[in-house]
């Protein structure tokens, strides 16, 4: 086993809103993604969603509220809460979640990624 270098992992791809799996532990996966612009409104009925900002600054829009997450900070969206990630500039994020968690939660569309690449 080797340590995972996040800079190297993020440098290996450039597309937005397409998470990659970089690790696994106890039935959970560690995912990373580059994001920019607005995602979609969605929720996860069975899972909380953990967002750690590795680089940049993002917002999580909630109905009636907005949470700003700066580099080095994280935020957990509670299960069942509708939310919409937004990034004005490119942001690198890291997420912990069950492997079965869909990135678009309860919404299926062109941004849904069912077969996540492992890098």
Residue 7 phi/psi, 5-degree rounding, is: -60, -45
How crowded is residue 91: how many other Cβ atoms within 10 Å of its Cβ? 23
How crowded is residue 61: how many other Cβ atoms within 10 Å of its Cβ? 16
d(CA 37, CA 15): 12
Q: Is residue 15 part of a domain?
A: yes
pLDDT of residue 112: 67
CATH number of residue 109's parent domain: 2.60.120.10
Residue 37's region, left for phi above 0, alpha for psi from -120 to 50, else beta, is left
Q: Is residue 102 part of a domain?
A: yes
What does each of the 119 residues of the chain score in pLDDT, given as a tens digit?
Answer: 789 999 999 999 999 999 999 999 998 999 999 999 999 999 999 999 999 999 999 999 999 999 999 999 999 999 999 999 999 999 999 999 888 777 766 767 776 677 788 99
Q: Is residue 1 part of a domain?
A: no
Give the bridge partners for 21, in sequence order.
31, 118
pLDDT of residue 111: 66
What does pTM read for this prediction?
0.89
């Amino acid at each position: 086993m080797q340590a995972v270098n996040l800079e190297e992992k993020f440098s290996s791809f450039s597309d937005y809103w397409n998470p990659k799996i970089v690790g696994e532990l106890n039935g959970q996966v560690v995912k990373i993604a580059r994001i920019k612009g607005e995602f979609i409104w969605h929720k996860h009925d069975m899972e909380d969603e953990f967002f750690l900002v590795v680089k940049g600054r993002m917002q999580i829009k909630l109905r009636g509220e907005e949470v700003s997450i700066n580099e080095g900070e994280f935020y957990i969206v509670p299960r069942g809460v509708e939310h919409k990630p937004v990034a004005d500039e490119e942001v690198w994020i890291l997420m912990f979640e069950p492997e079965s968690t869909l990135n678009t939660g309860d919404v299926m569309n062109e941004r849904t990624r069912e077969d996540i690449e492992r890098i």
